């Protein structure tokens, strides 16, 4: 299936954070570095995986900010920690986009709405959504990608997902293997 996508170095990769990069805390939030546990194989795979793409962006809903559970400064420190860990393995993340709002009907920034993708394109005009892949573990991730015309990859987890992704995998490591 992925051979049909005609991937080349001009493509962009969009990644959800919780459940894709790090272990997700169901019913809770990652509020500090001690709770930020990278999923198995993510750091070891990232350098090879990210080299396949022109841009790599993280798009993450973090309503814990809107709820006042973590400050803007602390979420930035957490993401700097994450990016530094990737850099230490030779993997570069271009940007982390955060939706800070509480999940409700007035939410304009949160996935599945396209705002974080549009912000990425404004910052990096070479991003072509038809040549982009969104990797996530929830309906909102998959629908975010579909709303922007991206290919979608679901990391299968405990989360029940009803959306139909283009591809289902168990991990970023498996996704990377399929790119070869």
Residues designated catalytic: 16, 18
Q: Do strands 151-155 and 132-136 pair parallel, antiparallel, or not at all (unpaired)?
A: parallel
**DSSP character at residue 111:** T
Q: Please give the Cα distance from 130 to 126 (Å, whole number).
A: 12
Helix (H, G, I), strand (E, B) or coil at 67: coil
Helix (H, G, I), strand (E, B) or coil at 169: strand
CA distances from 48 to 16, 45, 53, 93, 161 (A): 18, 6, 10, 13, 28
Q: Please give the Cα distance from 74 to 100 (Å, whole number).
A: 13
**Tokens linked to 76:** 């930035």
Per the CB < 8 A criterion, the answer to whether 142 and 161 are in contact is yes
Q: Please give the Cα distance from 55 to 77 (Å, whole number).
A: 22
């Amino acid at each position: 299936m992925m051979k049909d996508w005609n991937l080349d170095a001009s493509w962009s990769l969009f990644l959800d954070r919780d459940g894709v990069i790090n272990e997700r805390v169901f019913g809770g939030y990652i509020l500090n570095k001690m709770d930020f546990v990278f999923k198995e194989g993510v750091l070891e795979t990232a350098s090879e995986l990210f080299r396949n793409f022109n841009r790599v962006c993280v798009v993450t809903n973090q309503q814990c900010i809107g709820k006042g559970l973590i400050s803007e400064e602390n979420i930035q420190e957490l993401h700097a920690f994450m990016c530094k860990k990737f850099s230490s393995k030779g993997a570069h993340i271009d940007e982390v986009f955060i939706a800070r709002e509480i999940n409700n009907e007035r939410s304009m920034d949160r996935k599945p709405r396209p705002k974080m993708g549009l912000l990425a394109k404004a910052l990096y005009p070479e991003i072509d959504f038809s040549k982009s892949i969104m990797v996530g573990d929830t309906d909102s991730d998959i629908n975010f990608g579909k709303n922007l015309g991206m290919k979608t990859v679901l990391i299968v987890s405990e989360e029940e997902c009803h959306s139909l992704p283009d591809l289902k995998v168990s991990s970023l490591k498996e996704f990377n293997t399929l790119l070869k």
